[in-house]
Amino acid sequence: MSTEQGANSQNAPAHVAGLDSRFCDMNDAPLSHTIGPNGAKRAINLCAGQASLPQEVLEKAAAEFVDTDGSGTSIMEMGYRSKPFHRIMERAEASFRTLLNVPDTHEVHFFNGGATLQFAAVPLNLMGGENEGKAADYLMSGHWSEKARNEAKMFGKVNEVAKDPEGTYFSIPPASEWNCDPNAAYFHYTSADTRQGLEIRNFDYDALPPGVPLCCDASANLGSFPMDIARHDVVYAAAHKNFSGSGICYAIIRKDLISRKNQMKAMPTMCNWVKFQEAPNKIYNVPVLTSVWLGMLNCEWMIEKGGIPYFEKLAIERSNLLYDLIDSSDGFYRTFVTAESGFRSRMQVVFTVKTGTGDDIALVEEFLRETNDDLGWLDIRSHPLGLGHDVIRVTMYNHQTIDTITVVRDYMKKFMDSHNTGGEE
């Protein structure tokens, strides 16, 4: 490794820096990997994005990579206006629609630019024209709803409907306390926040003022529970968590909202839903072909596995492996979002050891050092959550395996047994 490369990787923040050792040097540590379907060692990949993908889909993609879909070209070199790619677009949309039961009233797009670009596209397409001067309602449920709100603030008035009074986002005030604007241009919420491990699976539709379009950033949990798409007007999700590779954002938009009537006058082309809708086969500029294609293979595979009911059952089983241990640990482990709140996430289990502060922080650091540095687990160290110290985060999107989470659970148990002095002191 050159000095220059070393200097760059050392500049990465601690929670993303990873380890210096090579994965193959850890082969002998049993809790450092799982064994995949073909006997290959698989890393304990707890990354929140790019997230782990199913080995079966990756192998299918590898087999079809050079001569994709019998086209004589690889997906990397396929013309975006070619018939083979248009066929892939159609199959990608059809499988995504089937998987999520998207109604005919809604359009599907694979926008370039990730979910972050849609943070701006939503206000740009919905707060202009006839909606000029209207505020947009934002339910504040964590770090990512702050990012979405901040983007909207650049374009118009934002009304924060509700916010955890503690400022930690470990809970959300009940819908009866929400301060909704009956004239809002739209209502926006984030269905799962990846930082504190909070998820909203039962949105209270009755709290929504009649006629206000409902928009959801479902990046972290789309496909893991039966979301009622018909009751939403806009649902968008970064593909790199639950579906495919990075660089695209899956968007489901009610057809009549893709219109010039509520668009802002100054509109970056990449945010303009109408321009993409009117382009041949909804392809306005060169899409991230590989992510559209991989998403297609993956959605088809998800349908074969049993669709949303299968992935919801898996999400429950997988997250309960850790929550059951945490809840029966007599205070040795603790989540921030409590079970009683009803907002505990199945996608990210975020926890600490004992109080996670003072002397106990040494235990958290020991846990992180052993799992990250000695066992090579990827992305286990979480952001400080505004608490001033790091915590532990285990990400388990749709394709996280039970085997991987079992390794995590077994390590947690071993760590607890070797440090337990009888619960909270």
Ligand X SMILES: Cc1ncc(COP(=O)(O)O)c(C=O)c1O
Closer to ligand X by CB, 18 or 197: give it.
Answer: 197
Shortest distance, CB of residue 158 to ligand X, whole angstroms? 17
Q: What span, in angstroms and rounded, lies between the C-alpha atoms of 49 and 239?
A: 9
β-strand partners of 235: 216, 252
Closer to ligand X by CB, 117 or 212: give it.
Answer: 117
- Tell me if 102 sits within 8 A of 96, measured CB to CB: yes
Amino acid, single-letter form, for residue 44: I
Q: At what angle do helices 307-327 and 83-100 cross, to 10 degrees?
A: 60
Shortest distance, CB of residue 114 to ligand X, whole angstroms? 3
Shortest distance, CB of residue 108 to ligand X, whole angstroms? 17
Closer to ligand X by CB, 239 or 257: give it.
Answer: 239
Closer to ligand X by CB, 12 or 362: give it.
Answer: 12
In which region does residue 18 sit, left (phi positive, over 0), alpha (psi from -120 to 50) or beta (all else)? left
Closer to ligand X by CB, 137 or 217: give it.
Answer: 217
Helices (H), 238-288: 239-242, 273-278
Closer to ligand X by CB, 125 or 191: give it.
Answer: 191
Shortest distance, CB of residue 143 to ligand X, whole angstroms? 8
- Tell me if 392 sits within 8 A of 350, measured CB to CB: yes
Q: What angle do CA 20, 395, 231 make, to 5 degrees?
A: 150
> How many angstroms from the chain centroid is the CA of residue 48?
7
Which of 338, 363, 364 is CA-nearest to residue 349? 338
Rg (CA), the chain: 22
How many CA atoms are closer than 13 Å to the CA of 233, on its beta-carbon side? Answer: 19
Shortest distance, CB of residue 119 to ligand X, whole angstroms? 7
- Tell me if 295 sits within 8 A of 96, measured CB to CB: yes
Shortest distance, CB of residue 45 to ligand X, whole angstroms? 16
Shortest distance, CB of residue 137 to ligand X, whole angstroms? 18
Structure tokens at 289: 């072909």
Q: Which residues contact ligand X (rule: CB under 6 A)? A: 49, 114-116, 144, 190, 194, 217, 219-220, 238, 249
Closer to ligand X by CB, 26 or 46: give it.
Answer: 46
